[in-house]
Structure 1
């Protein structure tokens, strides 16, 4: 059951826009029985526009690069340096956060460069400290659930990728609403 206002708020994919693929994606997601009601919720729908979808994909792309940084450092610290998983995860996560802040400021939210970095970096860091806590909880929970069923190092890498996926949505939402508010 799709509200009539949704058709007016979200562009039809055949309107000849340059972001047609985004409009088409959004239009189709709105009609899915499980996803549509969530996307149409008043607290969410005002933030879901083709421009925001494009930003989310850029944010996710930057996050994928951050994941490479994160997993590389995590594996080097655990396997080569013999660090405990929790400590290695905290260091690798922090390195990925610095990488992601730089690229999000330059590419995902280029308008943010008009704001002082001394304001944005602490905001971004605070969001990501909460993200680190979530990441560590999810990582350790999933790791302990699958350890023994999946061989090392696949067990903690799979747990880490799951944690990254969970934290992606927290980081995007919190940074979009606070660090990059009004852009």
Structure 2
């Protein structure tokens, strides 16, 4: 239930709210709420976050960063902030955008733990203490995940679910260990973003933090995402274009800097590709030797060559690409090999299936069709092996 501006803070103790002359470490936590035309939600979300602070004992600051709303969002927040010392409002006049608002909030916050939450109750405020404790316990970033066990999305149409899953899958290419890299519900230690060359665009600020921030550890907290209670969704075509441009910017930054989690992931992809190339040479050479020199029937030679190339690829990926040499226990290695074998067979089926469909059904030149099949099979092999065979978390 929404509260009117006049009684939003009726239940909050004055000792928590009436604090002046705040410095960068005045508060335990800053909750940053980016807004644009949120008059139907903003009073209620401030009330809810304030209630969470009171119940949990967190000395928290609420920082509303508004993108020059044309409705009553600004006067509502001004009225609340005028009566409560831990509520502040920043009104941005240019370079509008949700991510830009969050970054400005990072720079203006008066605490070392920074939480981002939507104003429309898509993110449950009652989970804020879990994010706070995760950072206090040593994590650099705490991420609310819709896609891990216990997470979910409610009241979304199929089209929006598909778009979200696609964006998440694309983001996991850059950050494979994060189940929801496009989440807008997260907390971060100030040191992670302080001095980071964030160049936000669109709505996926977490991607920017993951790609350019100085972090080493993260935790994920499952939550149920609920669609907007009031107002309109801001999902548009230009949002998706901004997201792709943002991903490209993160990759460029990573390649230039040659450090960080994205760079590490691209190195794995390149190594995986080189190992696959070595497997082609092993396969072709052994096929020729068994058929032309040893006199084996060519299909038998091919079967042996395929299996030997799979063994070759597994060994090199295990000790070089994913650096699992420390885990030499026989049972673990056999388990990884079994998984790799199954995934490789799946990739072979995908390759042959695409070759047949494109060449026989669509009329594509068979060599071109084969290249498409190889590419899709490569993506399959890497992603499935990365997330299953050599999953590190």
Q: Which bracket does the TM-score occupy, shorter chain normalised? A: 0.5 to 0.7
Structure 2, unaligned runs of 5 or more = 1-201, 215-239, 249-260
State the distance in 1 between where 2:361 and 2:304 align: 23
Cα deviation 1:37-93 (Å, max 9, x = unaligned): 7959xxxxxxx722212111111111122233345567x49x978857xx8876554
Residue 65 of structure 1 pairs with residue 278 of structure 2: yes
CA contact (8 A) 1:138 1:163 kept: yes
CA contact (8 A) 2:279 2:310 kept: yes
Q: Flag the structure with higher strand content.
A: 2
Give the RMSD, CA atoms, in angstroms. Answer: 4.0
CA contact (8 A) 2:347 2:380 kept: yes
Q: Flag the structure with higher helix content.
A: 1
Cα distance 1:176–1:98, how it changes in 2: closer, same or farther (>3 A)? same
User: What is aligned with 1:169?
Assistant: 379
User: Given the alignment, which residue of 290, 307, 312 partners 1:94?
Assistant: 307
User: What is aligned with 1:11?
Assistant: 212
User: What is aligned with 2:343?
Assistant: 127
The secondary structure found in structure 2 opposite 1:110 is coil
CA contact (8 A) 1:90 1:132 kept: no
What aligned pairs does 1:40-119 form with structure 2 within 5 A after superposition? 49-71=262-284, 76=288, 92-111=305-324, 113-114=326-327, 115=329, 116-119=332-335
CA contact (8 A) 2:283 2:308 kept: yes
TM-score, normalised on structure 2? 0.31
The secondary structure found in structure 1 opposite 2:212 is coil
Shift of 1:137: 1.0
Residue 179 of structure 1 pairs with residue 389 of structure 2: yes
User: What is aligned with 1:20?
Assistant: none
State the distance in 1 between where 2:204 and 2:378 align: 29
TM-score, normalised on structure 1? 0.60
Q: Whose relative contact order is higher, 1 or 2, with alpha carbons under 8 Å and at least 6 apart?
A: 1
